[in-house]
A and B are shown apart, each in its own frame.
Chain A
Amino acid sequence: MSSYDFPDARGHFGPYGGVYVAETLMAALDELNAEYARAKADPAFWQEYHYELKHFVGRPSPIYHAKRWSEQLGGAQIYFKREDLNHTGAHKVNNTIGQALLARRMGKKRVIAETGAGQHGVASATVAARYGMECVVYMGSEDVKRQAPNVFRMKLLGATVVPVESGSKTLKDALNEAMRDWVTNIDSTFYILGTAAGPHPYPMLVRDFQRIIGIEAKEQMQEMVGRQPDMVVACVGGGSNAIGIFHPYVEVEGVRLVGVEAGGDGVATGRHAAPLSAGKPGVLHGFRSYLMQDENGQIIETHSVSAGLDYPGVGPEHSLLKDIGRAEYVAINDDEALKAFEDCCHLEGIIPALESSHALAYAAKIAPTMAKDQIILVNLSGRGDKDINTVAGLMGLTL
């Protein structure tokens, strides 16, 4: 696999990715691409990025051996990459710092972002406060309801949260609205896209800023257990935490990469958010990738207990990794994710995000089929404090 080098100069990951946007955005994307090429070659840029990750975010995030859970499951040893311990509570901040530093280089004083679960919105509001920028976050009105604590966190950080009422009122509609804002305010505004999707260069940009997860994990596993895991598992909505941990492992032989999509009520019911498991290639939000769509090419509404996975598309690099067989993609249903959420709380003393609970659920499912000396590394992409209202609601409680 030594030939893995994507995307190409125009942002294609094999047949996926690309730049499918209206002409008005093309110049801004070219400008961003050119600035990132300069920043990428500038050691001072990366020096500041790493300084911020260390002193503001608290990196490196540790690796943790989930001993009790592994023992109870009776198979492979499960380890967590603790992205939940980052400042703001998820992996999202790795990317927002990188993009905010780019925005600053480009002299943009206003940043916008879309958010589903609110983690990317919080991470964007956080860096905007940190660097003194105006911040507007678009969020589907359904998500505003189910992620109320994060909405308030964004407001505390000085951001304006705009509820989006169009379409299904979730993440995809927030993305549409952010694009509309960007096209209107293109001179003053930097769009901090939260996942490894969207038009080129975003999938590459977000991956490069999230790769730190996998780079650290490789060093830490070597240090901790003297070898690399047999399997790396991460949840996939747009796919930023997954590509962040997968990418440094793509050329490492013997490491299985498993992306876990949101199965919602079950893939067979059609009520899910698993385009790699049950969709087909199409074009949405500026890129070509697997999509949840009907026979007319209309985007289908998605269903997941986790707002962060409730997205009908997936980052283009995951579509490529699926097609070339380097990564496998599976789906975990809402009830399985909730069971893993509870087990993680009880057995490990960690409240995981509902998104990450999908990855945990797959690890818990597959571990008993593996040998006790095998290792599964799960990207615990975020903490679950934001989800307590949702989980309480499912238990029939109000807080």
Chain B
Amino acid sequence: MLLFELIGNFFIEAVRSIGKISYFMFLIFKYLFFPRFYINSNFNYLIKILLSSIPIVALTAIFSGMVLTLQSYTGFSRFSAETAIPKIVVLTLTRELGPVLAGLMVAGRVGASIAAEIATMRVTEQIDALKTLNTNFYNYLVTPRVIALVIIMPLLVTFADIIGVYGGYLISTLRLGFNETIYISNTINFISFEDYFSGMVKSIVFGFIIAIMSCYHGLYTGKGSFGVGSATTNAVVSSSVLILVFNYILTEVFF
């Protein structure tokens, strides 16, 4: 009996959450199309996200590029296909690793911060205070973050692609003895617009997912410091899982 009760509760809770998120997204789209711009709030948020994410995205991308190159070399050298390494590195980074790693890093760095900030505002009644001051909190808090993340993510992913490829270039030329000019020409000649474009689409979708999940968990937080902690954890976990799920769906679309 208990098992049935648990399963039933799980499904009821899941359906309730889907309904709440759907309504939340409906409201976001409504206010995205009829926004009231708080210019300072939007601009400050863009700068804040960019500056706080660049170091962590750069570090993740350069080390991933370096590891990818070494591991590719291990495999390809077994059947004398080392020349394919620049192509594999650039393709993997632009289509997969750049968007996914940047997405996961931004979810951890920015998503957690958004969820914690909004949850704290909810717990300390600042959200209610916004309503009493004739300010729509979707316009003031949510849409600036959605717009900022959707604009910033493609820039961060482009940056991650470049840094990651540079990491691969460093290892290939300094450690594995590749010719610099040949490596660069192989990289540039191989990559197509479609590869870059698929990465950009992913980055926009991931930015949207991070913004939605972080704002949602922040707004629907539980009470007290425990509520803020749970909101932050849930925002990061749900963003990360959805990024991986949508990465597969989008890869199928661009396959």
Q: State yes or no: do A and B come from one complex.
A: no
Q: Which residues of A contact B (CB under 8 A)?
A: none
- B-side residues, CB < 8 A to A, are none
